[in-house]
Amino acid sequence: MIRVCIAGATGWTGKALVAAVLKSQTFELSGAVARQSAGRDIGEAIGFSRCGVIVSGSVREALAAPTDVLIDYSHPTVVKEHVLTSLKLGVPAVIGTSGLKPEDFEEIRLEAESWNLGVIAAGNFSITAALAKHCALLAAKYLPHREILDYAQADKPDVPSGTTRELAESLARVRANEMVKPIADLIGPKEARGVCVEGTPIHSLRLPGYTLAFETAFGLPDERLTIRHDAGTSAEPYVAGTLLAAERVRNLKGLVRGLDTLLFKE
Ligand SMILES: NC(=O)c1ccc[n+]([C@@H]2O[C@H](COP(=O)([O-])OP(=O)(O)OC[C@H]3O[C@@H](n4cnc5c(N)ncnc54)[C@H](OP(=O)(O)O)[C@@H]3O)[C@@H](O)[C@H]2O)c1
């Protein structure tokens, strides 16, 4: 059995993962982290029956129990600290939480390498979203002009989403985006063209009634290609990909980014 500790265990994604791990024949829940439910049984805290795992208020405290992998779906402000703590305690990590910047990933990569441990981070652990990204990377080989649309619910705390930030960074590695009219030459507020991540503009919508979706729009004279992924309202799409990463991360060293890297590049 693979023993996992889930940080953010009482959250929207964490709850779905706890439920899947408690039912699994492959995984065992060794720990759970969340501040408000600290001291309670995690099963009870998320509306199931008691399971014997008590919620800890910190990752350090939770990892006192023998653990093979930390899975983090907590908050952008604490995820880096959680992962660095985990590595120092000899535990590889899977990062679902968004909001980390390139310099944060660099710090995590160096730390993982120094401990000879693995970390897998993906802005989107949905397998169909990984397919959408894979298709966009393929299209970028042939199409020089692109922009990204990032949709989410009104109260999502970070912008742009981890999914679209990671997509823009990966697209840049395939080819540079060509802007027909440079942003610097435009008349009017430059913000209207979105935020440029590694040369690709990302436009973020945050509205009631919307759920997570992203779209890579490619344009050529008189034709368009759109590659879009839409998630529903539950956290179910992220469970299988996260658990796949938790299985694989134990045999890795250093940082791997993107579920598509795990699925399509091995
Ligand atoms: N990569 C992907 O596929 C994917 C999919 C879904 C979501 N996400 C990302 O995952 C993150 C979590 O999303 P969510 O919607 O599940 O969030 P959520 O519902 O707000 O849940 C957050 C969880 O983290 C805990 N938490 C918050 N701050 C904490 C802190 N300082 N220390 C310890 N625990 C803390 C919360 O409990 P307490 O407040 O009680 O501490 C709660 O259990 C976000 O960054 C989101 O964008 C990524």
**Statement: residue 125 has pLDDT above 50:** yes
The correct answer on CATH 3.30.360.10 for the domain covering 127-230 is: yes
**Statement: residue 123 has pLDDT above 90:** no
Q: Which atom of ligand 1 is nearest to the CA of 59?
A: 33
Going by DSSP bridges, is the β-strand pair 213-220/2-7 parallel, antiparallel, or unpaired?
Answer: unpaired
Gap from CA of 206 to ligand 1 centroid (Å): 18
**Statement: residue 8 has pLDDT above 70:** yes
d(CA 104, CA 143): 31
Mean pLDDT score, 12-24: 97
**Statement: residue 50 has pLDDT above 80:** yes
Kindly report the protein residue whose alpha carbon is nearest to atom 33 of ligand 1.
34
Kindly report the protein residue whose alpha carbon is nearest to atom 8 of ligand 1.
97
Mean pLDDT score, 8-28: 97
The correct answer on CATH 3.30.1360.120 for the domain covering 2-125+235-259 is: no
Among 6, 12, 13, 155, name the best residue to mutate to test ligand 1's pocket (greatest count of ligand atoms within 8 A of Cβ).
13
CB 113 within 8 A of CB 105: no
Give DSSP secondary structure letters for 219-260: EETTEEEEEEEE--SSSGGGHHHHHHHHHHGGG--EEEE-HH
d(CA 29, CA 226): 40
Any residues with Cβ below 6 Å from ligand 1, and which? 7-14, 33-37, 73-76, 78, 96-99, 122-125, 162, 238
Give DSSP secondary structure letters for 180-205: SS-GGG-SS-GGGG-EEETTEEEEEE
Proportion of the chain above pLDDT 70, given as a percent: 100
Q: Which residues of 47-81 are buried (b: 16+ CB within 10 A; e: fewer)?
A: eeeebebbbbeebeebbeeebbbbbbbbbeebbbe
Domain borders along the chain are 2-125+235-259, 127-230
Q: Closest Cα partner for 123 from 264, 258, 213, 262?
A: 258
Kindly report the protein residue whose alpha carbon is nearest to atom 17 of ligand 1.
11
What pairs with residue 230 in β-bridges?
213
Proportion of the chain above pLDDT 90, given as a percent: 94
Q: Which atom of ligand 1 is nearest to the CA of 36?
A: 40
Q: Which atom of ligand 1 is nearest to the CA of 235?
A: 6
Q: Closest Cα partner for 90 from 113, 71, 117?
A: 117
Kindly report the protein residue whose alpha carbon is nearest to atom 21 of ligand 1.
11
Token pair 């919508």 is found at: 205
- Chain centre distance of CA 140: 22
pLDDT band at 99 (very low <50, low <70, confident <90, very high): confident
Q: Closest Cα partner for 35 from 5, 59, 69?
A: 59
Token pair 């802007």 is found at: 179
d(CA 145, CA 195): 16
Mean pLDDT score, 49-62: 97
Tokens of residue 145, six digits: 């002009």
**Statement: residue 266 has pLDDT above 60:** no
CB 92 within 8 A of CB 113: no
